[in-house]
């Protein structure tokens, strides 16, 4: 059995820079859009989705790790701040993401909390992927299906 899995979904342009993301497995679609002047900010833009993915993955990983040791953290609330900056070529990039995760229960009521805090980030697929980088293979096709780039 392979450890390699994959998933696929589609994006359909709706209006200017707004794209409807149609996920697989019956997950409801999500509208993503760029802020003005490009779009109308009708939904989160890709940078917000990236930051949300990092924060959500970290939150779920911490929750899983706490529950693995039969801890009850109570309500988990996470805030995320993405710092946008320009690279050497003056292109806008996500420079860093600050994630603050808070759970309701007191720390002294948690079993093995030191171990949980030491390890939970290692199990966060998105955060570790972003931290170490990953290839993005790009293919561009025209209206007839002809490959213009990649393939």
Q: Tell me what the pLDDT averaged over the chain comes to.
A: 92
Specify burial of residue 2 (Cβ count, 10 A radius: 0-12, 13-18, 19+). Answer: exposed
CATH 2.60.40.1120 fits 45-130, yes or no: no
Angle at 112 between CA 55 and CA 79, to 5 degrees: 20
In this predicted model, what pLDDT tens digit does every residue of 49-59 receive, in sequence order?
999 999 999 99
Percent of the chain with pLDDT over 70: 97
> What pLDDT is stored for residue 3 in this prediction?
65
Where are the domains positioned within the chain?
Answer: 7-43, 45-130
For 65-99, write each residue's pLDDT tens digit: 999 999 999 999 999 999 999 999 999 999 889 99
């Amino acid at each position: 059995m392979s450890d390699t899995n994959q998933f696929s979904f589609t994006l359909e342009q709706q209006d200017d820079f707004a794209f409807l993301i149609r996920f697989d497995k019956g997950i409801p679609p999500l509208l993503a859009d760029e802020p003005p002047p490009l779009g109308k900010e009708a939904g989160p833009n890709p940078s917000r989705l990236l930051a949300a993915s990092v924060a959500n993955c970290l939150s779920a990983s911490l929750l899983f790790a706490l529950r693995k040791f039969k801890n009850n953290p109570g309500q988990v609330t996470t805030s995320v701040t993405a710092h946008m900056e320009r690279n050497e070529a003056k292109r806008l990039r996500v420079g860093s993401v600050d994630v603050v995760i808070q759970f309701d229960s007191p720390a002294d009521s948690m079993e093995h909390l030191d171990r949980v805090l030491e390890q939970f980030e290692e199990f966060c697929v998105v955060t570790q992927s972003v931290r170490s980088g990953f290839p993005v293979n790009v293919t561009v096709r025209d209206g007839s299906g002809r490959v213009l780039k990649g393939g």
